Chains A and B, each alone.
Chain A
């Protein structure tokens, strides 16, 4: 009982229209789940709802029916027995009640009859004209007016009905429930029980008889169409016999539909309907015209829905659906094709585009017989569309793109060509004869000879020429037969225009050749023949992949090409040399390239010609480098040819390519030929190399030979001129060749060989001195890249080799015993002395070794780590930065990975760190106290420091730099020791500040003071090294171990330490240094992390900004910090944090507006102020005058960008007070 009352409660809450939609949905869900879980049967539900379904209150009844329908929709997968289904579908079918007065009732239900209260625009007395005693409204007019009421009563009495007059006219919503219910039942899966075909028939009949679809509202119409679609798709056998009636009904229903969603359904309905009546003589045939007339109104789709309304339907969707409907049956052909052709000639681009698309679709569906009669018309339209759609071509030969003649990418032209290809494919004889006999094309061919060069041709002529080129190219590409036919009819004529006639061919070559070269080629003919050749090449290339069975079929064109190839090659070559115009050159090169890339076995071009072409190109590369365009085109063509024959594995051609091109190009580098610019040589080399693996192998070899020859020149003779070449070579090697090799993943041995060879060379040259710093840098970069790209094993080999060289070098004491036994201080002293006169060669070896170490993978075994550590530490203290970086990467990659490497390495990470930190003690005399104390975390020995001799303190700056790289290595891998390192820096920053009062005014002391400042500066810079990403080492490219979010972590550990330190520090100097460190950390941290802490950070950040404001040297730091502030200001959370400190922020920013040293700072500060103006007005209003005053000064800034920002800012701030701007 409780169950039933609960249910009725739920039903009540759905039916009650005063409840909110969410409540209704919730109760619907509950009811549906009850039925689904068999708590309640469908019959039970219907019984329970009896009252709601039959009540005389139409609103409640409508809701009740809707509820039942919605429940059924939810139960699509629940099996129901046939009897239930039958009774339910019957119920809903009955509710599709007659609506013959549909439109009137519809308007009445919406309260839109033209009663006087609706005719508000005209100022008439609102009075009912029937009873003259009340105002006229819909309700009154139809129900309450005494006359109408009397009529009602009479009728009701006559039929003996008990009826309560409704308050208003709206018996409409029941229909929706009925539709939803029908739809839910019809859509059921077959597994869950479906509506029988007789019932479906009843639904269809009721629908067709009773529903005036177009008089319904949008949502109801959509439901109707869905129901129709469902009927057609799921019960084709039931509805087909209804024949005429069905088609007529559908025509009526879809006529003049306008809503996009409904239209989508409508188009689909037509498509499905057509499939039901496939035969041409059936009932459909007589309706085809009418149906198409309905559809044709929509073409071309003109979509006027505003963008704001998001229906999920776009114009393209509609267009596609309509296209499917159009092309659904050949019966539409007599109506569709003329319409489409007519619209194609319209001036609207979208109409043209659509027509072309529709035509393609129709062509494939209507079949060749039906299309044949339209062939001529279609051809003319296509031609017309092509001519009109093309715009003026632009010649573009920029450095990046060598596209040659570029026509604006044009959709219409593209579609037209697709259509052309399709119609030719369908009916090639007919269309080809049309093309061949076409007057326009013939005229073009006839006019071509009158213009000699590209510039002579008028614009119209160019367009026509191009259109003809497109047409010929497409029709050639379509099929072998087409290719044959086109060649037969056009090729000889073109050749004749070019002056290469058959007569020339048959006679002796040599005199004719001379004649040819002297004459300039005609551009138009050149262009057309290149297009033809290209199309033919594409066709052959495409067809050989399928089978070479059809070789015989293109006999004619093949023969033609074969016989002409020699002459063509010569002609093209002569164009290249003689022609002054870019377009001619472009097509000449293109033609040669096409001739060279005919696929091997069926190529009409003999191998000798191929070689001729290659020779021509190579000679251009080597000789004609002054003509930039020609040179580039030739190089590109060579690359294309190379990669083409490489791809197709044409061994014979590859051989000749190797012989002619690759060898020649390689020899370019090694030659001391000064005429050709070196960068061009390199470009040619890398270009050819990257076009194929085999070529690359040769190129690399030649390249390396040249490189080592140059290097030895430098080593032995100290030849500085070759140093410049070497730097170029190295750059090219590391920037172009190495990445390519790496990408293609071959040639492991190359990657290995190169560094090894470099080491060998260094080993063999004993004494040399090169002052060139750039060369060393280039060498290091190349070494790093080469090592980083190679695999673990080769890295092992390389590092072993490098180590051997290093240890054999005389000036480095690399005996392990030394490192462990001799007291560090002594060793340090010795080394210091040696390092002072560090030889050039040793510096090279050391730097290169460092770069190897930087680039190795974590798994690679570094021999004799301890000794190397010692070596690096001692060198870094001499200010050798690569050593520090190498140390950082050793620490970073130490023993992290597999257990195998753990065993093989001779010490662990902890040991290594111990070595590093203990070794620091060798500087005991000067600042050892500092380091030791900070490591132990005990008090500082200030007095020691102050009394230390100035000279002895010198090494401290390199020590700090070194430490910062080591710290970075640790930080990246997330090691705890980094904390100790940073503590050292902090101590550095703090200590000297405390010592400040001790300084006297002696010269020595002031000198010491300077030094102290620079030490502190380097300590604060250490934080930047720690946080920033480095290009040189410790990044992903060089296999560093990087822990995710390491920056955030460091940020959150450092902030609590730094903040109190800044607060406490009382000396100006150390405070400013701490601020610098703070700035470095915060500006490198991701903004998200900063935003979380924004509230706490803002005050410090502002102090920091105003501190940095003072010194011009800090402008970059200042700028990056300001960017952080602007990031905070533009974020919503950040703004909340700023609100409390608004006046501080504004004080700071107004100070920065006048920052003299950097324009970007001023600009950003003003932008920040604009962002500030969006804070709550109550907060910022007091600062308004201050800001406006500051800004008015910025209006007179020396830089334009600042002034523009200032105008914006001024407006933003002035307008917060009132709309009118009095200032």
Chain B
């Protein structure tokens, strides 16, 4: 059985130059630093790697000798169904590089305890959209204080079944149910795993 990748050749964007936080030299002991846009963005994108989308990228194989490439071709012909499992830890794309989330797409209101995240799936029919959304939600659930209400949305016009996805992502019951499913939780954990190291 040969399974196609959903988006075999994603466009990879340059990472935006991270603006350095201005660290005041002598911080007052009792100063409060509210949770802001950048912090949420950091939580989400620091190391959140999306292995599922990480696929063959032709440039990566440029450096390898022809012989090896030939072998690889043979190998992949025989075991093509394993290809999608190949992980390339040196070139993982983070959601940021794929422009799935940008800093501007995050709204934070610390006073009202409210976060809204708008993400953009790479292709219109991306069936991964719900998984990405779920990952975002779980990550925030684990990293933000419990007082926060998290609202996750697909960017308008970026997905074929936009309203359905939005509904699914913000339905407490369905999210809870998804987290009961061991397969899904494993998948989410795998996506989030490196971000805690």
**Least distance between B43 CB and chain A CB atoms (Å):** 7
Chain B residues near A1159 (CB-CB < 8 A): 27, 29
| Chain A min CB distance to B76 (Å) | 13
For A1157-1197 the 0/1 string (1 means CB < 8 A from B) is: 11100000000000000000000000000000000100110
By size class, the interface of chain B is: 20 to 34
Which residues of the partner chain A approach B78 to less than 8 Å between Cβ atoms?
Answer: 121
Q: Are A1220 and B146 in contact (CB under 8 A)?
A: no
State the Cβ distance, B141 to closest chain A Cβ, in Å: 9
Q: In whole angstroms, what is the CA distance A1196 to B65 when docked?
A: 53
Given the contacts A1192-B146, A1200-B39, A1220 and B32 also touching, CB distance less than 8 Å: no
Contacts of A694 in B (CB 8 A): none
Closest approach, in angstroms, between the C-beta of A1205 and any C-beta of chain B?
12
B interface footprint on A1187-1223 (CB within 8 Å = 1, 0 otherwise): 0000010011011100100011011101000011110
Residue on B nearest A1199 in the bound complex, by CB: B33
Tell whether A1220 pairs with B29 under 8 Å between CB atoms, given A1195-B143, A1196-B147, A1200-B39. Answer: no
Q: Quote the shortest CB–CB distance from B82 to chain A (angstroms).
A: 14
Q: Which residue of A lies closest to B189 (CB)?
A: A1219
Contacts of A1196 in B (CB 8 A): 145-147
CB distance from B87 to the nearest CB of A (A): 17
Q: State whether the Cβ of B35 lies closer than 8 Å to any Cβ in chain A.
A: yes
**Neighbouring B residues of A1220 by C-beta, 8 Å:** 179, 182, 185-186, 189
A1200 to B40, CA, bound (A): 11
B160-196 residues with Cβ-Cβ distance < 8 A to A are 179, 182, 185-186, 189, 196
Establish whether residues B39 and A1198, one from each chain, have CB atoms under 8 Å apart when the complex forms. no
The distance in angstroms between the C-alpha atoms of A1157 and B145, with both chains bound, is 21
Output the least CB separation between A598 and chain B (Å). Answer: 47
> Would you give the 0/1 interface string for A306-326, flagging 1 where the beta carbon is closer than 8 Å to chain B?
000000000000000000000
What B residues does A1211 contact at CB under 8 A? Answer: 142, 196
Q: Mark B122-166, 1 if CB is under 8 A from A, else 0.
A: 000000000000000000001111110000000000000000000
Chain B, Cβ-Cβ closest to A1222: B179
Partner of A1198, one of B33, B143, B189: B33
- Bound: A1200/B182 CA distance, A: 33
B33 contacts A1210, C-beta separation under 8 Å? no
Give every chain A residue within 8 A of B65 (Cβ-Cβ).
Answer: 304
Q: How far is the CB of A1159 from chain B (nearest CB, A)?
A: 7
Q: In the bound complex, do residue A1207 and residue B179 qualify as a contact, i.e. CB atoms below 8 Å apart? A: no
**Residue with the greatest number of chain A CB neighbours at <10 A, chosen from B33, B182, B185:** B33
Contacts of A1219 in B (CB 8 A): 185-186, 189
> Residue on A with the closest CB to B27?
A1159
Q: Is the CB of A1207 within 8 A of B43?
A: yes
Question: Of the candidates A121, A1157, A1207, A1221, which one forms a contact with B189 in the assembled complex, judged by CB atoms under 8 Å apart?
Answer: A1221
User: What's the nearest-Cβ distance from chain A to residue B127, in Å?
Assistant: 22
Contacts of A1198 in B (CB 8 A): 30-33
Closest residue of chain B to A1201 (Cβ to Cβ) is B33
B137 to A: closest C-beta gap in Å: 13
Chain B residue at minimal CB-CB distance from A302:
B65
Which residues on A sit within 8 Å (CB–CB) of B145? Answer: 1192, 1195-1196
- The smallest C-beta distance from A192 to any residue of chain B, in angstroms, reads 48
Contact with B along A1138-1161 (1 / 0, CB 8 A): 000000000000000000111100
CB distance from A220 to the nearest CB of B (A): 24
Minimum CB distance partner of A1214 in chain B:
B142
Q: How far is the CA of A1079 from the CA of B27 in the complex (A)?
A: 26
Give min CB distance, B30 to chain A, whole Å: 8
Complex: how many Å from CA A442 to CA B86? 56
Known pairs A1157-B29, A1195-B143; A1203 contacts B35 (CB<8 A): yes
Which residues on the A side are within 8 Å of B189 (C-beta)?
Answer: 1219-1221
A275-318 Cβ-contact flags toward B at 8 Å (1 or 0): 00000000000000000000000000000100000000000000
Cα–Cα distance between A1192 and B189 once the two chains are bound (Å): 20
Contact of A1195 among B144, B185, B186 (CB under 8 A): B144
Interface hub of A1198, A1199, A1220, A1222 (most chain B Cβ within 10 A): A1220
Identify the closest chain A residue to B145 (Cβ).
A1196
Give bound CA distance, A304 to B186, whole Å: 35
A304 contacts across to B, CB distance below 8 A: 65
CA distance A1210 to B144 in the complex (A): 11
Q: Measured between C-beta atoms, what is the minimum distance from B17 to chain A in Å?
A: 18
User: A1211–B197 Cα gap in the complex (Å)?
Assistant: 10
Distance in Å from the Cβ of A119 to the closest Cβ of chain B?
13
On chain B, the residues within 8 Å of A1157 by CB distance are 29
Q: Which residue of B lies closest to A1219 (CB)?
A: B189
Q: A1200-B39, A1211-B196, A1221-B189 are in contact. Are A1158 and B29 (CB under 8 A)?
A: yes
A304 vs B63: C-alpha distance when bound (angstroms): 11
CB pair B142 A1221 closer than 8 Å: yes
Query: What is the bound-complex CA distance between A1212 and B33, given in angstroms?
Result: 24
Docked-complex contact B29 and A1207, CB < 8 angstroms: no
Cβ contacts under 8 Å, B35 to chain A:
1200, 1203
Instruction: Digitize B20-32: 1 where CB-to-A-CB distance is under 8 Å, 0 elsewhere.
Output: 0000000101111
**A1210 contacts B29, CB within 8 Å?**
no
Most chain A beta-carbon neighbours within 10 Å: one of B143, B147, B179: B143
Which residue on chain A has the smallest CB distance to residue B35?
A1203
Provide the residues of chain B in CB contact with A1210, threshold 8 Å.
142-143
Q: Is the CB of B146 within 8 A of A1208?
A: no
Which chain A residue has the least Cβ–Cβ distance from B188? A1220
- What's the Cα separation between A71 and B75 when bound, in Å? 47
Determine the distance from Cα of A611 to Cα of B141 in the docked complex, in whole angstroms: 75
Q: Which residue of B lies closest to A1115 (CB)?
A: B29
In whole angstroms, how far apart are the Cα atoms of A789 and B43 in the complex? 55
For B179, what are the chain A residues with a Cβ–Cβ distance below 8 Å? 1220, 1222
Contact flags B26-70 to A (C-beta < 8 A → 1, else 0): 010111110100010001000000000000000000000100000
Residues of A within 8 A of B196 (CB): 1207-1208, 1211-1212
From A1158, A1195, A1200, A1207, contact of B146 by CB (8 A):
A1195
> In this complex, what residue of B is CB-closest to A1196?
B145
Q: Which residue of B lies closest to A1223 (CB)?
A: B142
Query: What CA separation (Å) do A170 and B78 show in the bound complex?
Result: 33
Q: A residues within 8 A CB of B27?
A: 1159
A1157 to B146 alpha-carbon distance, docked (Å): 24
Question: Which chain A residues border B33 with CB–CB below 8 Å?
Answer: 1198-1200
Residue of A nearest to B146 (CB): A1192
How many angstroms from the CA of A121 to the CA of B27 in the assembled complex? Answer: 66
Distance to closest chain A CB from B3 (angstroms): 21
Alpha-carbon distance between A1210 and B78 when the two chains are bound, in angstroms: 44
Closest to A1210 in B: B142
Chain B residues near A1200 (CB-CB < 8 A): 33, 35, 39
Residue of B whose beta carbon sits closest to that of A1157: B29
Q: How far is the CA of A304 from the CA of B39 in the complex (A)?
A: 41
Distance in angstroms from A792 CB to nearest chain B CB is: 44
Question: Please, which residues of chain B bring their CB within 8 A of the CB of A1203?
Answer: 35, 39
**Distance of A1198 Cα from B31 Cα, bound (Å):** 8
Closest to A304 in B: B65
Give the CA-CA distance A1208 to B142 in the complex, in Å: 10
Most buried by A among B32, B142, B185, B189: B142
Q: How far is the CA of A705 from the CA of B165 in the complex (A)?
A: 84
Q: Which of A1157, A1212, A1221 has the largest count of B CB atoms less than 10 A from its CB? A: A1221
Bound CA span A1207–B35, Å: 14
Q: How far is the CB of A1220 from the nearest CB of chain B, in Å?
A: 4
Q: How far is the CA of A1215 from the CA of B145 in the complex (A)?
A: 18
7 intermolecular pairs with C-beta atoms under 8 Å apart: A304-B65, A1199-B32, A1207-B142, A1207-B196, A1211-B196, A1214-B142, A1220-B186
Q: Which 3 A-B pairs have the closest CB atoms?
A: A1196-B145, A1198-B32, A1220-B185
11 extra interchain contacts, Cβ-Cβ under 8 A, other than A1200-B35, A1222-B179? A1156-B30, A1159-B29, A1192-B146, A1198-B31, A1199-B31, A1199-B32, A1207-B142, A1208-B196, A1210-B142, A1212-B196, A1219-B185
Interface residues, chain B, with chain A CB atoms under 8 Å away: 27, 29-33, 35, 39, 43, 65, 78, 142-147, 179, 182, 185-186, 189, 196
